[in-house]
Amino acid sequence: MNLLLVNAISAVFSLVSIGIVVVALRKATEMIRLGRSMAEQIAASSDNLERALAALKAEHDDFRDESRKLDARLEESARAQRDIARSVDLMQRIRIELQGDVRAMRTSISSRNTAATAAPAPARAPEQTPSQAKPSKLPVFVRRTVASASVADNFATYS
């Protein structure tokens, strides 16, 4: 009976070991399936990361191009601002010259009025006309206005 009991216990252990092997194989199969799905997810994630990287590179290039365009616009704006500043300075100089010419005209008119009341006005020389007056640094339209205001006679003495 001893041999029968040993065979029975041996058979039970064999069945238990076969059961353990079956459970281990099922778990190994499940682990292999999970490993494959994880590998697929990693591959999909790396593909998504590569697409995101490509999109970021494209945006970086776009921003670099926009930055270059903005730099060019800033240079153009600075150039325009310098031109405007030069124009404003020129207009200030013209205004100062015009103010000096207006003051000279006023003094000449007042002196002419005082001279006219003191003595009769001498006849104007035919060779000296307002267009033959000494040229000014002022633009043409300003000289015409000053010449038409009959300041040409006294313009040479104050310039």
**Predicted confidence (pLDDT) per residue in 136-149, tens digit:** 666 666 555 544 55
Q: Note whether residue 36 is domain-resident.
A: yes
Residue 126 belongs to some domain of the structure: no
Residue 123 lies in a domain: no
Which residues lie closer than 8 Å to 143 by C-beta, 6 or more apart? 135, 136
58 inside domain: yes
Section 27-45 average pLDDT? 96
pTM over 0.85: no
| 53 within domain boundaries | yes
User: What DSSP line would sit under 59-90, residue for residue?
Assistant: HHHHHHHHHHHHHHHHHHHHHHHHHHHHHHHH
- Higher pLDDT residue, 125 or 61? 61
What is the span of the domain harbouring residue 51? 17-114+135-158
| Domain count along the chain | 1
Give domain status of residue 22, yes or no. Answer: yes
**Which of 31-40, 105-114, 133-142, 148-157 has the lowest average pLDDT?**
148-157
Per-residue pLDDT of 37-90, as tens digits, reads: 999 999 999 999 999 999 999 999 999 999 999 999 999 999 999 999 999 999
Buried residues in 54-68 as b, exposed as e (16+ CB within 10 A): eeeeeeeeeeeeeee
Residue 12 lies in a domain: no
Rg, C-alpha atoms of the chain? 52
Q: How far is CA 149 from CA 20, 94, 146, in A?
A: 122, 17, 5
pLDDT at 118 over 70: no
Give the whole-number percent of the chain exceeding pLDDT 70. 71
How many other C-beta atoms are found inside a 10 Å radius of the C-beta of residue 101?
A: 21
125 occurs within a structural domain: no
pLDDT at 29 exceeding the cut of 90: yes
